[in-house]
Chain A
Amino acid sequence: MKNINAILTIAFRDVLKFLRDRPRILATFIFPIIFIGVLGGSFQSNLGKVAGFNFLTFVFVGVIAQTLFQSAASGIISLIEDRENDFSQEIFIAPISRYSIIIGKIFGESLVAYLQIIGVIAFGLIIGVPIILPRLLLLIPVGVIVALSGGSFGVLIMSQLNTQRAANQVFPFVLLPQFFLAGVFTPIKILPIYLLILSRISPMTYGVDFARGIYYWGTPEYQKIVLYNPLVDLTILIVMFVSFIGIGTYFFVRNERNK
Chain B
Amino acid sequence: MKPVIQVNHLIKRYKKETRNAVNDLSFEVFEGELFAFLGPNGAGKTTTISILTTTLIKTSGEVKIAGFDIERDPTKVRDNIGVIFQKPSLDQNLTAEENIRFHAILYGLYRFNPTFSLMPESYRRRVLELSTILGIENEIFKPIRNFSGGMKRKLEIVRSLMQKPKILFLDEPTSGLDPLSRKNLWDYLQKVRQEEKTTIFLTTHYLEEAENADRVCIVDKGRIVVIGTPKNVKEELIDEYLLINSKKRDLLRHELNDLNVKFEEGEYFKVYLKGKSIQKIINRLTVDLNVLQIHTPSLEDAYLELIEMGEKR
Contacts and interface: CB of A to CB of B under 8 A. Distances in A.
Interface of A: 1-2, 5-6, 8-10, 12-13, 16-17, 20-21, 82, 85-97, 256-259
A6 B75 contact: no
Nearest to A19: B93
B55 A89 contact: yes
A257 B83 contact: no
Interface string B68-88: 000000011011010101011
Nearest to A8: B112
A178 to B, nearest CB: 29
B189 interface: no
Contacts of B268: none
B93 A20 contact: yes
A82 B94 CA distance: 13
Interface residues of B, number: 34
B98 A16 contact: yes
29 contacts: A5-B105, A5-B111, A6-B105, A6-B108, A9-B102, A9-B112, A12-B112, A13-B102, A16-B93, A17-B93, A20-B93, A21-B93, A85-B92, A86-B87, A87-B90, A89-B55, A90-B89, A92-B55, A94-B107, A95-B75, A95-B78, A95-B79, A95-B107, A97-B75, A257-B57, A258-B15, A258-B57, A259-B56, A259-B57
Nearest to B16: A259
Determine chain B's interface SS by DSSP, over half rule.
loop
B15 A259 contact: yes
B247 to A, nearest CB: 61
Interface string B83-123: 10101111111100010011101111011101000000000
B245 interface: no
A2 B105 CA distance: 8
Nearest to B79: A95
A56 B219 CA distance: 69
A85 B92 CA distance: 9
B78 A93 contact: yes
B186 interface: no
A86 B55 contact: no
A227 B41 CA distance: 61
Among the interface residues B85, B89, B111, which one has the most CB atoms of the partner chain A within 10 A? B89
A96 B57 CA distance: 18
A19 B267 CA distance: 70
B108 A87 contact: no
A16 B103 contact: no
Contact of B108 (A5, A20, A88, A92): A5
B94 A5 contact: no
B53 interface: yes
B147 interface: no
Q: What is the interface of chain A mostly: helix, strand, loop, or mixed?
A: helix
A95 B107 CA distance: 6
B287 to A, nearest CB: 62
B94 A13 contact: yes
Interface string B181-221: 00000000000000000000000000000000000000000
Contact of A5 (B78, B112, B114): B112
Nearest to A89: B89
Contacts of A257: 54-57
B79 A259 contact: no
Given A5-B108, A94-B78, A95-B107, A87 B91 contact: yes
B141 interface: no
Given A86-B88, A93-B54, 5 more contacts: A8-B112, A89-B83, A89-B89, A90-B103, A93-B81
B27 interface: no
Contacts of B55: 89, 92-93, 256-257
B53 A93 contact: yes
Contact of B106 (A16, A85, A88, A96): A96
Given A93-B55, A259-B14, A9 B105 contact: yes
Contacts of B91: 13, 17, 82, 85, 87, 90
A97 B78 CA distance: 11
Contacts of B83: 89, 93
Nearest to B111: A5
Contacts of A17: 91, 93-94
Contacts of A89: 55, 83, 85, 87, 89
A90 B82 CA distance: 10
Contacts of B57: 257-259
A85 B56 CA distance: 17
A253 to B, nearest CB: 10
Nearest to B105: A9
Give the top 7 A-B pairs by smallest Cβ distance, nearest first: A2-B108, A95-B78, A94-B106, A8-B112, A95-B79, A9-B105, A90-B89
